[in-house]
Structures are given as C-alpha cells and as structure tokens.
Structure 1
Amino acid sequence: NASLRGDVFAFGISGDRTQHLLYRVRNGELEFRHPPRVVVITIGTNNVGRDNDEAHDIFLGLRACIGEVLTRLPGSKVLLPGILPRGPPVGARAQMPPAPGEDSTYHSGVAEEPTPLAAGYKVSKYAQPGAHTAVIGHVNRRLAALAAGSGGLVKYVDCAECFLTEDGTALRSDLMRDALHPTAAGMRAWLAKLKPEIENFGVADEGSGPRMDVSPTLPSTAFNHGSLDTVDEQSRSLVEHLVSWTPHALCVSHMTPKGDGPIVYCNDNFVLQTGYSVEEILGRDCRFLQSTNDVDTEALSAIRSAIAEGRACRVRIMNYHKDGTELVNDLELIPLHSDSGKVTHYLGIQRFRRNTTDGGELGDKSRTVPSTGGAYSKL
C-alpha cells in the first residue's frame, strides 16, 4: 500500500546513461515554476552494464547530474538510492536488449544467452556477487561519502537489501526476474524502502543537520565544502573549473601573517580520500595529515621554501589516512594571488595513493612529480 503524497513526476527513459540525463537537465527538462521538495536520481546501471564504463567515470557523471539539479532547482534536495545490484554472474557476458534508438549492431558479438556457470542457469544468473558488483559498490560508496558531506542537500539510501536474499548471495527472482529490472513486486518493495526516506527528507527542518557556508559561485554544495569568498575572482573561477572535473583531492589554504595555512575550502574527494569529516578538515593546517613521528624533512623543507618565496612547488610526501593507512601524496602547491600580486592562498592538489612500498623504496624515487601544466602557474 506504499504510495507517495502529492505530485510525482517520472523522467526516466529506457537505456538512459548519466550523460543522457545530464544533457536533458541542462536543456530544460526540469523546469518547474515551484521546484520539487525531493528529486530522486536513479541513474548509472546502463553505464555499468551497457557501456562498461569505469567506476570513477560513472561517479563523475552522477556527480555532475546532482550538481546540475541542485543548481537549477534551488530549495530542492536530492535523494540517491544508488545503483541497484544486478546480474549477470561472474564469468557471463551482460545481456542487454537494445534500448530505443539502438539497433542490434550495438550489441554485436554478444551471445543471445550467457554461458551457464553451473547446472541450472535459472538459478546461477541471480548469483551475487555478480560481474558488476565491484564497480557498483565503488560508485555507491562514493555517493554515500558525497551525501555525508553535502550539508543536508543530498541523502544516500542503500537499497540493495530490497532485492537480495537474506544471506546476500543471490538476487530474488520474484523481485528482479531478469536480474536487472525490478518486477511489479520489486517496485513495491523498493518504494516501501524509499517512501519514509523521501517524506522525512523532504519535510525536514531546514535548520537541522550541518550546512556549510559555501560560495554561491560554486557548482554545488553537494561536493564543495567551505568558502572561496576571500579568493580573488579570477583565481576562484579557475579553481571552480578544476573542482568540476578533477578526480584529485583539492583544498585551498588561506595564508596568515603567522605563517600557517588553515584550510578554508576542500572538495568531496579530499573528504573521501583522507577519511576525515568536513568539520575535522576546515580550519586546520594540512600538517594534520602528516605524522609527528616520521617527519619527511626534505619534502617539508621544499614546501616551506616555496611558500616563503611565493612560488609553486611539486613534492612527494607521506600523509596518513584517518585510519592510519599510509598515503603517498604527489602534492602540487599553486599560489593564488590578489589583484595587487600578493599571495593570499595556496591551492593544494593531492594525488593520493595507498603506500605499497617500504620507506626505502619511496625515498629512492624522485620527489619531483608531473605538473598539471602551465595553465595554473600564474594564478
């Protein structure tokens, strides 16, 4: 008996990918006189199974859709059910019928039926983990992290359990008969899960939950934290361009007369990749990512020298995740100037990777890392 109160509109199209949804939103599909309270975005499964896109690209597409919706519908909130679990099982090829506008040549080379993995294919095609489980899990974890740092504008709801058996080893055939599309019963189960989340999310007090002071010029508070209001307008524009597309962790530090650099802005990748919350990041110097016991004096000396001279630098330094995991950081620091030419801020581009070598091997490598190029050298 689950049903939603008020007006409900559906905008999905069979075969949709993130790029299709983004195009339609940017070209006026979501034009409302009164913006809706909640927009539920369910997109990405066709990028997984039809296009075999990488997890990072799918996440960027979803993030762009979320930002566009929040920008065009002020006052609305976004609810993310994530990408649902799906088939085929590991070892089988995805069987996707042509979407409207696609002919059969799109799927040339794909067998009409996947090879059975075991006796009784009807059972095995529902097996989980499936061929796409790892990619789906990666995207959903990043969506959850984005929502957690959105200041209450975005909410993530894990809906996987709606379609899985109790032990999680298979999709329920009565709820997802083709291991991809929910049946009528599956839709009802899904709605039953989403209904209270939508209604509570939509009517929640605007003052409840943390809300970040974000510059209105940023693409969306769903993936930007802090403020760039003190940054020169030209530099701010270029930083915002980077934020929209970079897969790296970014932060902007305000240089004070005391010589420290409290972080005034970070993107969601910084939150996700370091494990710290927004509240634990803003206002702190980036030194909190370093160890007090194992100080990288060479890298720190290079950083201090560059800041003292107001120039850019690139170093490789050891940082640490909140859980203690070592993170090798190919760090690039870029000065941001005021109209008078004074360095007021530094943009930090962090290329984190988990350390898989011992300290000696890291030390033998060059500390100079590739530059992003000259485009940002004169900020």
Structure 2
Amino acid sequence: MSHVNKTLATTAVARTEAWWQQRHQQKLAEKRALDNDVDLLFLGDSITHSWEDTGLAVWNKYYANLKPFNLGYSGDRTEHLLWRLQNGEIDGLSPKLIVLLIGTNNAGHRVESAEDTAAGVEAILQTLRSSLAASKILLLATFPRSKSLKAPMRKRVNAANKLCERLADQQYIFWLDIGQHFLTDDGTVLDTVMPDFLHLAPAQYQVWAEAMQQQIHDLMEYK
C-alpha cells in the first residue's frame, strides 16, 4: 500500500466548498432538532445524499417511521466522512443500525488502489465502533461503476469490495453486496439504471430499499 494514498484515504480532512460546510452545520442543527433520537443512520456520498431528493419518496415509504438520519454528502471520499464523524455529526447518537456506503469517489476521483480505498473504509469502521459501540453496521459493497464489466473503474471497485468484505465480523459489522440488482446478466450497467454509470435513476432507490429491507429489519430487531 502506498504511503501517500493511505495517508490521504485514512486522514480526516474537511472539504472547503461553501455548500459542504453549510450542509455540515445544517446537519448538526438537524441532529439537535431530533434531540439525538436516531435509530437508523445513513452514512455516505452522493448516492446516499440523494435519498433526500431522487429517492425521497422511497425513503419516506421505507424509513420515515424508523427514526432515520441521512449523513450522505455528494462527492465525499473516506477521509471527508472520517472528518465529519470526528467533528460532531454522530456525537450523542446511539442508532440501532448504521448503513454505510462509501469509497466510490476514492476509486473515481483519485483513481486509488483497492487497498487504499479499503483502508479508508476500515478507518471509518474503527471510528464508528469506538464512538457508537452498541450500534450495528450494515456495510454495503460499493455499487458497480462504468458500463462494462471490463472497465478499469469497475475492476477497482470490485477489488476494493473484496477487501472490504473481510472487515465484516458478523457481530457488529455485516456485509451486504446488492450490486447484481443493478446489472444485466452479462454484468452491464444500463443507462436506464445509472444514467451516468454511477448515480442511480429514481426507480433504482426502490430496488435498493427492497434489496436491504430484510437485513435492516433483522439488524434493527424489528421482527
């Protein structure tokens, strides 16, 4: 593992964009308004962020009654989420379940190795286990990227997923790979599923919710 990329992926850093800083403050305020009463916590990047717009109807259908809180930020890499975890966003929370989907922007924006991306995910898991020791974590495999199974980006994401799967202990951290739901039989991503071969089309939020519904209810102990 290269020293430089490992440092970038695993060292907490804030982003400087105004909207990002504003969202951080808004989320801290939202958490206070909820009186820290959160049972289902979503952490991630744009794909998670979009539960607030593209996937909002599905979010309301599946999660509105589960005391949810969305901490997805468009464009985030592992180090940005790590910073947010260390700077107030989970302080005072004790969710029953955390749904974590992160890493695609490490593979994409920085063209990082699988090992470096997995190290960033591991650093996040360690922080969550330390800060929210009673919470269970549903660690999602990064969704397929690029149209073709043979695309370099797809291969990087798949390789990182194989490493991240090993981080699940089946006691507090549980692995779930739903990538096949977004692929054709030959491994192709259609533009009707992901218009840019990365972000989900609106209908795919229903597919995502259905694919993890059983695990969410089991891990939250809603029988």
Q: Normalised by the size of structure 1, how large is the TM-score? A: 0.41
1:52 aligns with: 111
What SS is found at the alignment partner of 1:59? helix
Q: Is the 8 A contact 2:145 2:197 kept in 1?
A: yes
Alignment of structure 1 residues 1-379 onto 2, 5 Å: 3-4=62-63, 5-33=65-93, 35-87=94-146, 126-147=147-168, 150-165=169-184, 167-203=185-221
Specify whether residues 73 and 195 from structure 1 end up closer, same or farther in structure 2 by C-alpha distance, changes over 3 A only: same
What one-letter code is carried by the residue in structure 1 that aligns with 2:203?
A: A
Q: Is the 8 A contact 2:106 2:112 kept in 1?
A: yes
1:265-294 per-residue CA deviation (whole Å, 9 max, x = no partner) reads xxxxxxxxxxxxxxxxxxxxxxxxxxxxxx
CA distance in 2, matches of 1:13, 1:78: 19
CA distance in 2, matches of 1:32, 1:172: 41
CA distance in 2, matches of 1:151, 1:131: 31
2:15 aligns with: none
Using the TM superposition, give the Cα deviation of residue 60 of structure 1 relative to its aligned residue in structure 2, in angstroms.
Answer: 0.5
- RCO higher in structure (CA 8 A, sep ≥6): 2
Q: Is the 8 A contact 2:149 2:155 kept in 1?
A: no
Using the TM superposition, give the Cα deviation of residue 144 of structure 1 relative to its aligned residue in structure 2, in angstroms.
Answer: 1.6
1:240-285 per-residue CA deviation (whole Å, 9 max, x = no partner) reads xxxxxxxxxxxxxxxxxxxxxxxxxxxxxxxxxxxxxxxxxxxxxx
Using the TM superposition, give the Cα deviation of residue 168 of structure 1 relative to its aligned residue in structure 2, in angstroms.
Answer: 3.1
Give the aligned length: 163
Specify whether residues 204 and 152 from structure 1 end up closer, same or farther in structure 2 by C-alpha distance, changes over 3 A only: farther
Specify whether residues 160 and 168 from structure 1 end up closer, same or farther in structure 2 by C-alpha distance, changes over 3 A only: farther
CA distance in 1, matches of 2:100, 2:178: 13
CA distance in 2, matches of 1:17, 1:168: 29
1:345-377 per-residue CA deviation (whole Å, 9 max, x = no partner) reads xxxxxxxxxxxxxxxxxxxxxxxxxxxxxxxxx
CA distance in 2, matches of 1:202, 1:138: 29
What SS is found at the alignment partner of 1:203? coil
What one-letter code is carried by the residue in structure 2 that aligns with 1:58?
A: T
Q: Is the 8 A contact 2:114 2:163 kept in 1?
A: no
Of stretches 172-181 and 196-205 in structure 1, the one that deviates more from structure 2 is 196-205
Q: Considering only CA atoms, is the larger Rg found in Structure 1 or Structure 2?
A: 1
More strand by share: 1
Q: Is the 8 A contact 1:129 1:169 kept in 2?
A: no
Q: Is the 8 A contact 1:174 1:186 kept in 2?
A: no
Q: Normalised by the size of structure 2, how large is the TM-score? A: 0.68
What SS is found at the alignment partner of 2:166? helix
What one-letter code is carried by the residue in structure 2 that aligns with 1:55?
A: A
What one-letter code is carried by the residue in structure 2 that aligns with 1:78?
A: I
Q: Is the 8 A contact 2:113 2:156 kept in 1?
A: yes
CA distance in 2, matches of 1:204, 1:70: 22
What one-letter code is carried by the residue in structure 2 that aligns with 1:56?
A: E
What one-letter code is carried by the residue in structure 2 that aligns with 1:30?
A: I
Q: Is the 8 A contact 1:36 1:76 kept in 2?
A: yes
What one-letter code is carried by the residue in structure 2 that aligns with 1:194?
A: M
Structure 2 spans left out of the alignment, 5+ residues: 1-57
Q: Is the 8 A contact 2:97 2:136 kept in 1?
A: yes
What SS is found at the alignment partner of 1:10? strand
CA distance in 1, matches of 2:133, 2:170: 14
